[in-house]
Structure formats: C-alpha cells, structure tokens
C-alpha cells in the first residue's frame, strides 16, 4: 500500500488533493510521538487479542496482526523502521507498516478503535511508566539523604531565616527537611498513579462502539485497575499529564531550593560543603574556580518544567469536548519535563552523595551571629520566671553589649549579665552553648539529635529501606 494522490492512505478516501507542505509540517507528530511505539504496539496487541476473543475478527487475522506487530517492534528497536511524516503519527506509521507486512488483515485492527482512544492510552501508559521511574529515583534520593542525616545527626550548623543566622540546628535535621519535601513528592506521585490507573481504550472516537468489545479484557491486559467510565471524558482527558507536570513542578522547586543551598554553601565565603570534581566544573579563565554547575542547572531545569505545566494548562484551557487536535500539543512538554526532572534528580543525587560536608566550618558558623540568643531568653523565662517578651528585651540588651565588646554571649561575664538583669545566675552558662542549644530542642519535630534519629527510623520504616 502506498500514499495516494488524495493524501493519507489511512483517511484520504474523501480527499481530492494531498495536504500542503505546511499542513503536513504542522500536522505531523511522528517526530516526537515515535517515542510511544512500545505503548502503541502493546495497546494494539491487547486490542487485537480482545477482538479475536469477542469474535469480532478471525483467529487467523488476529494471529497475523500479533506476529506483524512483533516484527514492527523489533524493527523499531533495531533502528530499521522508516518513520514517515506523510503518515502523521506513530499510530498510522505502525498500521501502515503492518499492512505492508500482512496485507488486508491489518485493516481489521482498527475495528472498534480510534486514534483518539489510542493516543489517550499510549500517552497514559507512558506517563504511568515515567511516574514509576521517578518514584524509584525519589526513593533513592531520599535514601541518600537519610544516610547523610544519619552521619550528621550531631553536626552543628547555623539554621537560617531570611538567610540570616537564626538558631543552631544539626545538618542531619536540615537533610531531613528535604526528606520531608521529597517524601511529599513521592506521595503525590503515588496518589497521581491511583487516579491515572484507568484504561481509556475502547472509548473509540468519542462515543464508544457498537461492536461487542470487552473493555475489561484490554484493561486487565494493559495493567490498569479499571476502564474509564465515560467515553467522551476518556478521549479528552489529559488530567494525568497535568497532574504529572504539577507534581514534577513542585518536585523541581524542591530540587531547585536544595540546589540553591549547595550553590551558597560551596562558596569560599560559606565553605560548608565541598563539591566533588565529578559534579563541578572549572573556569576557562580563572584557574582557582570550581563552579557548582550541576546545582545551577538543576535550579534552571525548574524553569523548563514549570513552563511545561503552564504550557499544557493553557493548551487544555477552553477545549470543548471531546478530542481536539490541540491535544497533540500535550506530548512534547510532558516528554521534556520528564527528561528534565529525571536528569535533575539524578544530578542532585550524585552531587549530594559525592559532596563532602565541612563539619568544622559549619560548627564554627553555628555559634556566630548570636545564634544562641533565644536560649538565653528561654533561660530567663524558665529559671527566672520572666515573661518571654521581657526576656526577649533583656537578651537584646545582652546581644548589644556583646556586640560592643566584640565577643560571644557566652563570653560575657556574670557581672556583665547581672548588670542587665540581676536575676541571671551562673547556671545560665549551661545553656549558652551551641551543643546544648541543639540538644535542648526536643519538642516533636525539633532539631535535637535524638529527634533526628527517630525521624530517620520513621522514614526508613515508611520506605522500607
């Protein structure tokens, strides 16, 4: 079978002339949807087998179809398949090749099916598989953060608000904050997978079909939980793509925030972390430089991923039911976002696992900036019965005095402190240390090493690792 003058062999019956070159260019999706070949063939095989079971096509035709589809699969995988733009998309490229291989029987495969439910299926299968891969990657990333947290549950560092030193925390606690974020991403992936798990195949063009198909058979064979319930919605729904992009965007934002911290921490000014040679680059002009390019690119990929979400939301906005060709524009953004996210997680994972935490520097910084001021205020409340607001004021004066003396709060003398508030006793010095400050923060979710430890076991249990 070859293309006729009237255009596409698959639908050209009522056409007198073929498409304009520009029409072909705007219409063809094969350049990007060929990535869906495995899903398309899996869907066709399930559909073909079901048609035989239901007595809609003969067993012989069914056999020829399945053998032909397997041949096509190996041709594509061997790089021997010739994709044609004139055949628009992956569905028609495959069907046309099937006709070359097995003749007229190929034409029976499209009984009780449309490209509309076909693409809805292929794309869903692809997104599902991708989400499962990202699930695995997130579990690995969280695993390496848990390992870091475990090693550093007592490593002191400054905690920041407004990027100003606030109160000391442990680096383990900081790692566990990201575990919480990526843990939520993971739960969003799993939750999204639940909703996605419906099979649209058999919705046909938009209204279902008069043939006695069994959608439960194809659904089961393709590994979905249940068939979609409304044929119009089945071919026009791209929520699974939108949900994936939303989840990807939030996850990318988390990665980007972490990347930003690594960018800051790896500066000579901070020097909290040293990036490995494997995950940094040099400058072609400044020999001393080691640049955190991996982190910067992770930060930048977020722009692409967020852009994809806005892109697809805008494509879908205002589309009437059911299928419209606009929806062909759903794929590239999802493919691009998925590739970007997968790469970003992999880069982040590698960069973190490979980096060295400079404990000394972190510890030194943990005590700077009067980070234990709150501990002094808390002591005044606890031991001297002073209301917190007043204690805050007293502590502020102590900080001002230490600032004039250019020393730490713990370096002020008892007499200095008594000069500000006479109820202060020698025992105040017990709380004026970074270690004790951190150890004392045992409230649920607080930074104390024992809390970090129990949070690590919580996540290990939850993830089974």
Residue 139 C-alpha from the chain's centroid: 11
Decide whether 224 or 323 has the Cβ nearer to ligand ARG: 323
Catalytic residue status for 254 = no
Helix (H, G, I), strand (E, B) or coil at 465: coil
Decide whether 139 or 205 has the Cβ nearer to ligand ARG: 205
Which one of 2, 162, 284, 443 is the catalytic residue? 162
Catalytic residue status for 457 = no
Give the binding range for ligand ARG (CB under 6 A) out of 114-122, 174-182, 194-202, 398-406.
114-122
**227/47 Cα distance (integer angstroms):** 13
Residue 45: CB minimum distance to ligand ARG, A:
19
The only residue of 45, 97, 113, 115 in contact with ligand ARG, by rule CB under 6 A: 115
Q: Which two tokens stand for residue 290?
A: 């080691």
Give the binding range for ligand ARG (CB under 6 A) out of 17-25, 175-183, 261-269, 320-328.
320-328
Decide whether 116 or 266 has the Cβ nearer to ligand ARG: 116
**157/360 Cα distance (integer angstroms):** 9
Decide whether 119 or 295 has the Cβ nearer to ligand ARG: 119
The only residue of 248, 263, 327, 438 in contact with ligand ARG, by rule CB under 6 A: 327
Q: Could you give the string, one character per residue 2-41, with x where binding to ligand ARG holds by CB under 6 A and - elsewhere?
A: ---------------------------x---x--------
**239/230 Cα distance (integer angstroms):** 14
**465/452 Cα distance (integer angstroms):** 17
**Kindly report the CA angle at 230 between 227 and 232, in degrees rounded to 5?**
125
**214/132 Cα distance (integer angstroms):** 27
- Other beta carbons less than 10 A from residue 268's beta carbon: 8
**347/229 Cα distance (integer angstroms):** 40
Residue in the block written with tokens 């398949």: 81
Q: Which two tokens stand for residue 422?
A: 């006479």
Number of residues that bind ligand ARG (CB under 6 A): 10
Decide whether 33 or 198 has the Cβ nearer to ligand ARG: 33
**62/125 Cα distance (integer angstroms):** 23
The only residue of 99, 119, 199, 298 in contact with ligand ARG, by rule CB under 6 A: 119
Q: What string of H, E and C letters represents the secondary structure of 9-20?
A: CCCHHHCCCCCC
Q: Could you give the string, one character per residue 76-105, with x where binding to ligand ARG holds by CB under 6 A and - elsewhere?
A: -------------x----------------
238 binds ligand ARG (CB under 6 A): no
**58/221 Cα distance (integer angstroms):** 20
Helix (H, G, I), strand (E, B) or coil at 289: coil
Give the binding range for ligand ARG (CB under 6 A) out of 69-77, 216-224, 275-283, 319-327.
319-327
Give the binding range for ligand ARG (CB under 6 A) out of 111-119, 136-144, 267-275, 415-423.
111-119
What does residue 156 show for φ and ψ, rounded to 5 degrees? -85, 145
Which one of 74, 187, 283, 454 is the catalytic residue? 283
Of 117, 93, 89, nearest to 205 by C-alpha is 117
The only residue of 155, 328, 340, 395 in contact with ligand ARG, by rule CB under 6 A: 328
Decide whether 308 or 328 has the Cβ nearer to ligand ARG: 328
Residue 207: CB minimum distance to ligand ARG, A:
13
Q: Could you give the string, one character per residue 267-306, with x where binding to ligand ARG holds by CB under 6 A and - elsewhere?
A: ----------------------------------------
Verify cis geometry, omega within 30 degrees of 0, for the bond prior to 44: no
The only residue of 8, 93, 96, 116 in contact with ligand ARG, by rule CB under 6 A: 116
How far lies 243's CA from each of 127, 227, 439, in Å?
Answer: 10, 19, 41
Residue 92: CB minimum distance to ligand ARG, A:
8
Of 2, 229, 37, nearest to 45 by C-alpha is 37
* Catalytic residue list: 162, 283
Site residues (vs ligand ARG, CB under 6 A): 29, 33, 89, 115-116, 119, 323, 325, 327-328
């Amino acid at each position: 079978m070859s293309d006729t003058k009237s255009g596409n062999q698959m639908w050209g019956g009522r056409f007198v002339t073929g498409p304009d070159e520009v029409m072909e260019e705007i219409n063809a999706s094969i350049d990007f949807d060929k990535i869906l070949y495995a899903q398309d063939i899996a869907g066709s095989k399930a559909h073909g087998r079901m048609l035989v079971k239901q007595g809609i096509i003969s067993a012989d035709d069914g056999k020829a179809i399945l053998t032909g589809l397997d041949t096509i699969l190996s041709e594509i995988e061997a790089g021997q398949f010739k994709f044609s733009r004139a055949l628009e998309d992956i569905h028609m490229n495959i069907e046309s090749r099937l006709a070359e291989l097995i003749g007229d029987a190929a034409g029976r495969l499209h009984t009780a099916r449309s490209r509309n439910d076909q693409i809805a299926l292929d794309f869903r299968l692809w997104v599902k598989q991708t989400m499962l891969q990202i699930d695995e990657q997130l579990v690995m990333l969280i695993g390496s953060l848990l390992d870091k947290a475990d090693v550093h549950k007592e490593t002191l560092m400054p905690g920041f608000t407004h990027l100003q030193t606030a109160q000391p925390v442990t680096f383990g606690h900081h790692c566990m904050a990201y575990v919480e974020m990526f843990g939520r991403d993971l739960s969003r992936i799993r939750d999204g997978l639940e909703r996605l798990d419906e099979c649209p195949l058999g919705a046909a063009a938009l209204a279902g079909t008069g043939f006695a198909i069994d959608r439960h058979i194809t659904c089961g064979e393709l590994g979905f939980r249940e068939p979609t319930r409304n044929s119009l919605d089945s071919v026009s729904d791209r929520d699974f793509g939108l949900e994936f992009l939303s989840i990807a965007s939030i996850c990318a934002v988390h990665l980007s925030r972490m990347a930003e911290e690594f960018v800051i921490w790896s500066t000579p000014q901070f020097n909290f972390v040293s990036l490995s040679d494997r995950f940094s680059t040099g400058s072609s002009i400044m020999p001393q430089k080691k640049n955190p390019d991996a982190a910067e690119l992770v930060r930048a990929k977020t722009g692409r991923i967020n852009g994809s979400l806005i892109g697809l939301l805008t494509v879908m906005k205002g589309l009437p039911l059911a299928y419209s060709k606009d929806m062909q524009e759903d794929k590239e953004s999802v493919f691009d976002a998925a590739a970007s996210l997968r790469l970003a997680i992999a880069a982040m994972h590698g960069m973190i696992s490979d980096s060295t935490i400079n404990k000394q520097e972190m510890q030194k910084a943990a005590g700077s900036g009067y980070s234990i001021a709150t501990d002094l205020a808390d002591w005044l409340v606890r031991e001297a019965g002073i209301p917190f607001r007043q204690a805050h004021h007293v502590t502020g004066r102590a900080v001002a005095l230490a600032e004039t003396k250019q020393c730490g709060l713990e370096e002020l003398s008892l007499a200095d402190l008594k000069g500000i508030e006479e109820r202060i006793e020698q025992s105040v010095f017990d709380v004026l240390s970074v270690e004790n400050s951190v150890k004392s923060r045992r409230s649920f979710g607080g930074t104390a090493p024992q809390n970090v430890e129990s949070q690590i076991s919580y996540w290990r249990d939850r993830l089974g690792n």
